């Protein structure tokens, strides 16, 4: 791996085991609370427009891997020498630029592939979105809202979302990835991405990302999501390698979350969620997988 990341010579199974046990335990216990209190669709409202699920997902669930990192270090007396919390800005501006902007470009290409495969679902007038706004009593021009989302996704949203994404990246890319490095660089990156995908499975079973109305629910959604996490996870792993800290991956992850849903605004009717147009669909994930193949080339 890149010389900015010092990695162990042998597989540290105990530390990996403690990390995974805590990361999955905290997040999946949070998912259980969400499920037993109505899931994502019927979660109790705490304040107007804010439900228990919308509070627990970006906190208890997303920060499970970060808690796993801390717990593994404490339980195994590992210390904090290689915490990867310090950003390295010297000569790495292009890494942050890639983290900030590449997700938008890849998402546009992926959505383009989806709409090319299903041209009848592309609606540049955003009629479906316009009807949704009207049903909620919102009289704002949908193009204005779309423009606001796009501008935010390219400016402040990667940073804001990145603060929450840090909870995942401090676990997956800053801790687990280096620990798996004795397996070989490519295996470590792919396995980290796959584990990241499996960690999402409880919320996918509750309708996150793909909804409920697709063939083979929820198992096909769980499997389809792995294609995205391996592809996007490779991108985030390389950012971490090249810069030597967790922050480019956090920004990149935040940028992905910021731009992912914009393509849905241009869908006519109900999209084929397993295929796209968001990056987690199999067709829309193809640019991410192509980039991963290129980044993992010998």
| Spans of all domains in the chain | 86-295
Mean pLDDT by 10 residues, the chain (298 residues): 60 95 98 97 91 95 97 92 73 86 96 96 87 76 86 93 96 96 96 98 97 95 97 97 91 96 90 94 98 95
Contact in structure between 25 and 69 (CB atoms under 8 Å): no
Cα atoms found within 13 Å of the Cα of residue 169, Cβ hemisphere only: 30
pTM metric for this prediction: 0.92
Residue 1: predicted pLDDT? 38
Residue 3: predicted pLDDT? 41
Residue 63: predicted pLDDT? 97
Which helix (H) or strand (E) segment holds residue 25: the answer is helix 13-36
Could you give the CA distance from residue 272 to residue 92 in angstroms, rounded to a whole number? 39
């Amino acid at each position: 791996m890149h010389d900015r990341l010092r990695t162990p010579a042998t597989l540290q199974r105990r530390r990996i085991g403690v990390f995974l046990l805590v990361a999955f335990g905290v997040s999946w216990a949070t998912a259980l609370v969400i499920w037993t209190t109505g899931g994502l669709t019927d979660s109790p409202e705490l304040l107007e427009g804010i439900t228990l699920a919308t509070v627990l997902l970006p906190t208890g669930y997303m920060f499970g891997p970060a808690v796993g990192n801390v717990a593994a270090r404490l339980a195994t007396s590992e210390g904090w020498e290689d915490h990867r919390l310090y950003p390295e800005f010297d000569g790495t501006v292009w890494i942050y630029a890639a983290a900030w902007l590449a997700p938008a470009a890849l998402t546009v290409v992926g959505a383009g592939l989806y709409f090319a495969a299903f041209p009848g679902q592309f609606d540049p007038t955003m009629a479906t979105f316009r009807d949704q706004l009207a049903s909620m009593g919102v009289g704002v021009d949908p193009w204005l809202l779309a423009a606001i989302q796009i501008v935010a996704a390219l400016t402040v949203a990667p940073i804001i979302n990145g603060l929450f994404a840090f909870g995942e990246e401090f676990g997956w890319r800053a801790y687990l990835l280096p620990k798996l490095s004795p397996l070989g660089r490519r295996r470590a990156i792919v396995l980290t991405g796959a584990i990241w995908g499996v960690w999402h499975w409880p919320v996918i079973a509750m309708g996150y990302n793909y909804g409920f109305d697709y063939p083979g629910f929820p198992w096909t959604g769980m499997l389809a999501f792995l294609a995205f996490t391996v592809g996007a996870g490779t991108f985030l792993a390389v950012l971490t390698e090249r810069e030597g800290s967790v922050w480019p991956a956090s920004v990149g992850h935040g940028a992905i979350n910021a731009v992912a849903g914009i393509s849905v605004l241009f869908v006519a009717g109900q999209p084929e969620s397993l295929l796209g147009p968001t990056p987690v669909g199999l067709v829309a994930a193809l640019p991410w997988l192509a980039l991963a193949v290129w980044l993992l080339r010998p």
